[in-house]
Structure 1
């Protein structure tokens, strides 16, 4: 039964339902795409377009996807995270459905206001969230597929949205450097998504959700995640070298080193080191993303 809540408590509950901690990587990807476009300057940080982009990639689109995930994973959350709003009885399924519908509409409108193509991207992202969480497809059950689709939604889609938002003209040739770099960092992001799966290992095992930790065991999954994380960044650095941007490439490689060091304790004890790894190592990965975006910007004519 849904618990009665006061207006302030209801607002805080909705914010918790939207999972603000998950907004940051998507907002960062949008920023990297904007920087890579060559049409963005740091003065634009206070511009209406950038603020709308942050609202879109943070509380609106990402918040919508998080609500969808909680809605469809409510039975799993009874095991993994019983304090979440739906399994905890704080939000009814009816109210959750209304919130998801309203947030989906607001997200599409905000995307369209920035650029019609971005409105289409938002629709794709919402579809991806359904594919990830909803039966009968539920890509989360299908080993690699779940992490890949989340990584696409967290990295390539917002990166390209940022690029399109600030590009003076859109063509395949102008978008190619961002597509390549964002794609390679998406490979790394697939690894970080695997690390997020350790916290729900018990519920996933009991519910036959075949994440990498369930399918291959904790140690092997951590090794696979580390290889993916490092490989994507190394390939991004090699791509920058191929574009004769050696300094940027060298910085990206240097940023991999602390991540590599932090992966040793992660592999030894994935379930106890996963949060610490993400809290520390992710900073170096996202710094590499921005360095790569600056490299693409520097090479613009």
Structure 2
């Protein structure tokens, strides 16, 4: 029983799920809404944690055969959690997340409903399509900020900028992860971007998306939405992500890990920029 409970927790990728909840809170804060609607911000953050955990669990359910090659230590391949139990656990988490989302404003509820459909469609249909699965994950990652802003009915202008930058950099990271998982994906017959166009071309496309994000990152400062403190932090974040993209050509595992650090630093830039502006 203890091993099963441990396995269920592992299915959610708790660090990633909690990080997504924090990003939702960041979206609410950047939209200037946490102080006015703390309960809504908390409900949105908890719903995000549960939904991301559910999505990770259902992804492991659909990927059980692939994980036996790519990640045999995960709960299902190692026998800690049965496939049906993983599915039931995912459905239960989704149900609680939906219940929390029903307490939020209409725009946030609409985003939650759309994201739920996108997540299920990704795991069932889009994951193995070249570039499409990466784009869906990129949207879902960036939309956590939008969800937080919509939940507190705040100013969405800076949050939209944060969403766009996060989505582009997430797309890059997902392409790098596909290169990292190439052997298992090819064995399973998936047609991911590196398989369809080659590793180098896929990485070049991912890097190009990141360059667009980097070039666009000063816009919140140039438009006067965020101040100099934002720019002082976002430039180092850009440099970290560009270095990680370059690293991915020789070390995809290191590249996808390090680009995540730059993404969190970029999110911090928005928080500091908003804090100084208030």
The TM-score bracket by the shorter chain reads 0.7 to 0.9
**Equivalent position SS for 2:72:** coil
- For structure 2, the residue ranges without an aligned partner over 5 or more in a row are none
Alignment counterpart, residue 260 of structure 2, candidates 279, 282, 292 = 282
The alpha carbon displacement at 1:139 in A equals 0.9
The alpha carbon displacement at 1:108 in A equals 0.5
Q: Report Cα offsets for 1:187-240 as digits up to 9, x if no partner.
A: 121111112223321121123322222223333323322222232132132343
Q: Report Cα offsets for 1:261-294 as digits up to 9, x if no partner.
A: 3433322x1xxx2332333332222221232355
Whether the 8 Å contact between 1:237 and 1:249 is mirrored in structure 2 is yes
Whether the 8 Å contact between 1:30 and 1:57 is mirrored in structure 2 is yes
Q: 1:294 to 1:40 in 2, by over 3 A?
A: farther
Q: Taking structure 2 as the reference length, what is the TM-score of the superposition?
A: 0.86
Aligned to 2:54: 64
Q: Report Cα offsets for 1:25-62 as digits up to 9, x if no partner.
A: 42242122112111235x99xx655544443222x110
Alignment partners' CA distance in 1, 2:22 and 2:215: 20
Deviates more, 1:283-292 or 1:110-119: 110-119
Matched, 1:212 2:193: yes
Count of aligned pairs between the two proteins: 277
- For structure 1, the residue ranges without an aligned partner over 5 or more in a row are 1-5, 169-173
Whether the 8 Å contact between 2:69 and 2:184 is mirrored in structure 1 is yes
Alignment counterpart, residue 234 of structure 2, candidates 252, 255, 271 = 252
Whether the 8 Å contact between 1:29 and 1:154 is mirrored in structure 2 is no
Alignment partners' CA distance in 2, 1:165 and 1:104: 18
Whether the 8 Å contact between 2:8 and 2:86 is mirrored in structure 1 is no
Whether the 8 Å contact between 1:259 and 1:281 is mirrored in structure 2 is yes
Alignment partners' CA distance in 1, 2:175 and 2:22: 20
Alignment partners' CA distance in 1, 2:238 and 2:106: 36
CA RMSD in angstroms comes to 2.7
Aligned to 1:166: 152
Alignment partners' CA distance in 2, 1:69 and 1:27: 19
Whether the 8 Å contact between 2:131 and 2:192 is mirrored in structure 1 is yes
Alignment partners' CA distance in 2, 1:78 and 1:246: 49
Q: 1:266 to 1:61 in 2, by over 3 A?
A: same
Q: Taking structure 1 as the reference length, what is the TM-score of the superposition?
A: 0.80
Alignment partners' CA distance in 2, 1:188 and 1:27: 18
Q: Report Cα offsets for 1:91-149 as digits up to 9, x if no partner.
A: 23332232122111111012223445434433322211221121xxx111221110111
**Equivalent position SS for 1:228:** helix
